[in-house]
Amino acid sequence: MKAEIFSDVACPFCYIGTRNFARALSETGLADEVEIRWRSFQLDPEAPRRSEGDLYDHLTRKFGITRDEARAMNDRVISMGHGAGIDFAFEDAFAVNTFDAHRMLQFAAEEGLEAALADKYFAAFFTGSSDLSDRADLVRLAVEVGADPGRAAEVAGSDEFAADVRTDQELAGMLGISGVPAFVFDRSTAVSGARPVDQLRAAIERAAGSAA
């Protein structure tokens, strides 16, 4: 069975959902039978390379709300994150355009490192511990999960894999995906949103049963 994961490292629900998906897949005992392909999806392709202020500032501008309203909006996200072992730090984080991060994830997929790198990029984005608009940070995090330093630097300093990112975005549109995370099984069934582990486990088992 093939599972395609559409996500964006700027999406907190993707961070939670992909963490839960990994745990759910492990619990099914089907990991060796599922081919996983991560797909690029930019929630905001027109975002500036790096926004001013922290993520709360970004949300106030994006949604026209107050900072207190932005905090309240994210209380549920923070609580959900704790359940997935994630500590969000919106006050330390800042918004960036994720296109280059997606290019690096496409590169990492060549070596089967995309899941590990995606988790690194999620953590970097939502804690501000690294700057995903900085090519040096993109490379450093890729190397930390096992990527070749020279090749990672070469990709980061070019536009390589840009076409792959755009192709994935077009594919999402063809499949009717307008929000992420989305987990697509054999192009026949899909689950969207930051679902709990038990729901994702059931979805994986149902899809595997249909594919048998």
Q: Which of 39, 43, 1, 42 is nearest to 18 (CA)?
A: 39
How open is the CA angle 193-9-95, to the nearest 5 degrees? 115
Sign, CA dihedral 121-90-70-64, equals: negative
Quick one: what percent of the chain has pLDDT higher than 90? Answer: 93
Residue type at 164 in one-letter notation: D
Tens digits of residue pLDDT in 114-156: 999 999 999 999 999 999 999 999 999 999 999 999 999 999 9
Question: DSSP readout, 151-183?
Answer: HHHHHHTS-TTHHHHHHHHHHHHHTT--SS-EE
Give the H or E element holding residue 40.
strand 35-40
Contacts with 48 (C-beta within 8 Å, 6 or more apart), sequence order: 97
Structure confidence at residue 210 (pLDDT): 79
Q: What is the CA radius of gyration of the chain?
A: 17
Tens digits of residue pLDDT in 60-75: 998 999 999 999 989 9
Give the H or E element holding residue 2.
strand 2-7
Structure confidence at residue 124 (pLDDT): 97
Q: Residue 65: helix, strand or coil by DSSP?
A: coil
Architecture of 2-211 per CATH? Answer: 3-Layer(aba) Sandwich (3.40)
